Amino acid sequence: MERLDKHVSNRTGYTRSDVKQLLKKGSIRVDGRPETDGSRKIDPDTQEIICEGKRLPMGEHFYYLLNKPMGVICATEDKTHRTVMEFLPKGVSAKGIFPAGRLDADSTGMVLLTDDGVLAHRMLSPKHHVPKYYLVRLARPYEERYAQQFAEGLKLSDGTACLPAEIRKADAGYALVCLHEGKYHQVRRMLAAVGNHVEALHRVAIGGLVLPPGLESGSCLELFHKDVERMLKYVPTEGLCEQIMKNFSSYLINDCL
């Protein structure tokens, strides 16, 4: 439990005296009702706090899972393209929120939007080896030799060495790739290195968290810290791939694979 005025001040950057004014004006709501008493104790994990029409994060940070549509870029702002920030739910302030990791503009699927820099670092640093899973549509038939080549650590056309990775055949014309690092255009370049070509790429899981099959393209799902912790936990690849394959047809319907 935490004092309401302290909580609002910490989450918004307003001073305690600013918060006092906002309370007086009725601009702060707790579970739907205007509150005027800053000393009131609230539980930030379960109670909804709205300040000037914007909802504050339930825990300490915001976490949103976006099913990124085609053509949208993973940046906080851009002059020409739509960015992932446009897909945050209405009423959520984008202040401090950024995409944790990147998908190419012409890739689709799972992107985490958060204001938690520490977690983003844990998720992205190659030291932590958090696996990322991609369903890809291939231009040419899948070949069994790819699995061995990926497992040995591929060399890309410019000489860049990749960490050992996994690839398996999915349905006809598709493969599932698991990487433990995130180099520029890595999946596309790895498949080019074995003589194939990626026509479409959809990220379906990060760590132990799988993209919910019903989450439509362009939709955002709010996650709690405990869900996000699941992203960082080791989950055996075998079980996760099985889960992804069970959802395979819904990823096809849902997006542009």
Among 25, 128, 145, 185, binds ligand URA (CB under 6 A): 185
Report the residue number, 22 or 178, with the smaller CB distance to ligand URA. Answer: 178
Sign of the alpha-carbon torsion through 101, 105, 111, 115: positive
Helix runs in 115-166, H state only: 117-124, 145-152
Helix (H/G/I), strand (E/B), else coil: 215: coil
Compute how many other C-beta atoms are within 10 angstroms of the C-beta atom of residue 158: 6
Report the residue number, 58 or 136, with the smaller CB distance to ligand URA. Answer: 136
Measure the CA angle with vertex 81, ends 77 and 86; round to 5°.
Answer: 60
- Any contact of residue 104 with ligand URA (CB under 6 A)? yes
- For the question of residue 255 being annotated catalytic, the response is no
Contact 63, 116 (CB under 8 A): yes
Judged by CB under 6 A, the chain residues 18 through 77 that form the site for ligand URA are none
- Catalytically annotated residue among 18, 45, 78, 104: 104
Q: How far apart are CB 106 and ligand URA at their closest, in Å?
A: 8
Among 12, 93, 107, 254, binds ligand URA (CB under 6 A): 107
End-to-end CA distance of the chain: 46
| Candidate ranges 30-38, 116-124, 182-190, 229-237; the one touching ligand URA (CB under 6 A) | 182-190
Q: Name the percent of the chain in helix, strand, coil, to the closest 5.
A: 30, 25, 45
| Candidate ranges 114-122, 152-160, 183-191, 226-234; the one touching ligand URA (CB under 6 A) | 183-191
Q: Which residues form the catalytic set?
A: 104
Contacting positions for ligand URA (CB under 6 A): 103-104, 107, 185-188, 201
